[in-house]
Structures are given as C-alpha cells and as structure tokens.
C-alpha cells in the first residue's frame, strides 16, 4: 500500500495578452512541490510550508492546497486522514499561477496516492476550490493549464467548465521574467475597467480568435499579430516598473509578442526558436535592471504534461 507521494505542479501563464480570463498555458519552471502522507488523524493536517516566509495559513480550510483536499474528502467520502507539506518554489503574487499550482498539486497528489481514478475533468472542480481562496472568484485560466498541461481555452463556465485543449507549434518557446516585486491578484482586478468601448471589444475578439487560429495553423506571423491586448494591459502595465521598455526589448530581440503574465508583475514573450527566446530573456532582464530591479528569467517550451509524480512510496 502506498503511504506517501511527492508531486510537482508547474507554473502557468494566463490571459496571454488578448485572452483575459479565458486562456492559459503551462511552463516547465518554476512550480510547487506537494507531499501527502496517509495519516490516522482525520481530515487534512498541514505539517510544513516552505518558501513563503510564513505567510500562508496552516489551517487547511484557508489554504489553497488544503481546500481541494477537504472538498475531495467530503464529496468522495474518503475516510483516512491526510498530512501535507507544501514547498513553494515560486514567489507569491508573481503572476505565474502560484496558488493554482498548489491547488492542482494537492488534488493531483491525492488522486494518485489513493488510486481514485479521477480524470482531469473530474479533478478540475476540486482544484478550483483552492483558486477561489486566492483570487476571490472562479476562474480557471491558471488551474486548467496547470492541470491539463499545454495551452487551453476556457470557453465558458455554465453549466460546467468547458476546457478546450489547443495544440501548439512544436517550436514555440516562452520566455518569462519575474521582477522582484509582488502584485496581489485581488488588487489587480480592482483597477480593471467596468466597461470598455465596443471598438476595443471588437479588436480584442479578433485578436483572441486570431491567436487560436495562429496556433492551430502554426502561423507564427498570425500568432504575433494577435498578441495584442487593448483592454487589460494598458491598465495593469502601470503597476510594473519599466514595462514598456521590457516589452520593447523583447520585440527588438525578435519575439513574436510580449505581454503581462496573469495579473503581473511577471512578463512573458513568445518566440519561434530557443535561440530567440534566450536572447529575449537577456534583453528583458537588461531592460528591467535599468529600473533598479532584479528578476528571474525562465525559458521553456509549452509544458504539455502538467503535474507529475516525483516520488511514490
């Protein structure tokens, strides 16, 4: 009988310029690690959290990784207790789906540890329970790509979440730079416009459809032309020092497009080769440093696997 599991759940880029709240994709790094153990103590006990400087609650019902487990235990009538360790491998408030990674990692780990046999579609509602705690609303544009892997479109939420997996070109690379500042998702949502001009909506719809078509057709020119955000980026970019310069540096390096990852402060760029993606990262970092900030750079293909088991015993 298995008693312990350690899993990795990847970071994700959401919104992808034109796809606010409806698009996201997983990347190879960073990510979170979750450890679960079967316990005689009923319920969920969080025994350790690392990498977040004591800022996350140990109470399971208040924790983004604990909430999915409590929901699974309740709805699936699980009788054993669970001990959990959470090892944060990426910063909070990074715009890289930190809370989603913890939620997905926990749900995925319990499914594997107890051989529950749940599909990704069945696990998704449980993982979203954790995301609700972090953002205060139901949106799956980080949770779904983290869980499914790859590039996903959230077509809608009613009557159930409709997740569409979109195949991407094999040589599509992502560069992410994470400035050493923090932006709260809840706060970043408060500054968004309540209404937008019809002309902006039309532009955004066209870009969203164009991005999907460009990915499916493997048309890098169309992908690049579609990575334009006329609704969210103009507002949220004001929270990121040097954003315009970072974006210009990425585009001058040959990136297809560049925008804010999630609610920021991370900024992502897509490229059609590894060499361009690496050079883009160097240029973005140089631009950021001109504003007195340091930042971590990550370069990877689109992560098609989602969460994975590190150790099972």
Q: Are residues 92 and 204 in the same domain?
A: no
Q: Are residues 104 and 184 in the same domain?
A: no
Q: Are residues 125 and 265 in the same domain?
A: no
Q: Are residues 160 and 177 in the same domain?
A: no
- 59 tagged catalytic: no
- Given a contact cutoff of 8 angstroms between Cβ atoms, the answer to whether 239 and 183 are in contact is yes
Residue 116, pLDDT score: 96
Q: What's 140's domain CATH number?
A: 3.30.230.10
Per-residue pLDDT tens for 176-213?
999 988 887 777 788 899 999 999 999 999 999 999 99
Q: What are phi and psi of 7, to 5 degrees?
A: -130, 160
- 187 tagged catalytic: no
Per-residue pLDDT tens for 43-86?
999 999 999 888 899 999 999 999 999 999 999 999 999 999 99
Distances (CA, A) of 287 to 24, 178, 220, 246, 281: 25, 12, 25, 5, 10
Give me the catalytic one of 33, 112, 131, 279.
131
Q: Are residues 156 and 250 in the same domain?
A: no
Residue 136, pLDDT score: 64
Q: Are residues 224 and 235 in the same domain?
A: yes
Structure tokens at 31: 């990510």
Residue 181, pLDDT score: 86
Per-residue pLDDT tens for 244-287?
999 999 999 999 999 999 988 999 999 999 999 999 999 999 99
Please report which residue ranges of the chain form alpha helices under DSSP H.
66-75, 98-113, 120-135, 143-148, 185-190, 198-217, 220-226, 233-236, 243-252, 274-289
Which structural domain, as residue segments, surrounds residue 80?
4-166+303-312
Per-residue pLDDT tens for 120-161?
999 999 999 988 777 666 779 999 999 999 999 999 988 889
Q: Are residues 82 and 136 in the same domain?
A: yes
Q: What's 276's domain CATH number?
A: 3.30.70.890
Report how many domains make up the chain: 2
Q: Using CA atoms, how far apart are residues 156 and 280, in angstroms rounded to an integer?
A: 34
Give me the catalytic one of 185, 208, 276, 280.
185
Q: Are residues 125 and 210 in the same domain?
A: no
């Amino acid at each position: 009988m298995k008693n312990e599991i350690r899993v990795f759940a990847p970071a994700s880029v959401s919104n992808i310029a034109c796809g606010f709240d409806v698009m996201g994709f997983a990347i190879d790094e960073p990510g979170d690690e979750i450890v679960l153990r079967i316990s005689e103590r009923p319920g969920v006990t969080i025994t350790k959290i690392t990498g977040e400087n004591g800022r996350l609650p140990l109470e399971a019902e208040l924790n983004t990784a604990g909430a999915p487990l409590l929901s699974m235990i309740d709805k699936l009538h699980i009788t054993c207790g669970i001990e959990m360790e959470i090892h944060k491998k990426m910063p909070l408030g990074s715009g890289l789906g930190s809370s989603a990674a913890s939620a997905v990692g926990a749900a995925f780990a319990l499914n594997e540890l107890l051989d529950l046999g749940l599909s990704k579609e069945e696990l998704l509602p449980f993982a979203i329970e954790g995301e609700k705690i972090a953002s205060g609303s139901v949106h799956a544009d980080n949770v779904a790509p983290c869980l499914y892997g790859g590039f996903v479109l959230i077509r809608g939420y009613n009557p159930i979440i409709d997740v569409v997996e979109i195949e991407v070109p094999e040589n599509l690379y992502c560069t992410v730079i994470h400035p050493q500042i923090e932006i709260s998702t809840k706060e970043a949502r408060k500054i968004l416009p309540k209404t937008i001009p019809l002309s902006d909506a039309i532009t955004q719809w066209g870009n969203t459809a164009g991005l999907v078509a460009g990915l499916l057709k493997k048309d890098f020119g169309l992908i690049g032309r579609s990575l334009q955000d006329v609704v969210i980026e103009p507002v949220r970019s004001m929270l990121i020092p040097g954003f315009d310069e970072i974006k210009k540096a990425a585009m001058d390096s040959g990136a297809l497009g560049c925008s804010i990852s999630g609610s920021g402060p991370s900024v992502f760029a897509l490229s059609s080769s590894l060499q361009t993606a690496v050079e883009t990262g160097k240029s973005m970092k140089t631009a950021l440093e001109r504003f007195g900030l340091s930042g971590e750079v990550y370069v990877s293909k689109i992560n098609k696997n989602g969460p994975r088991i590190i150790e099972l015993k």
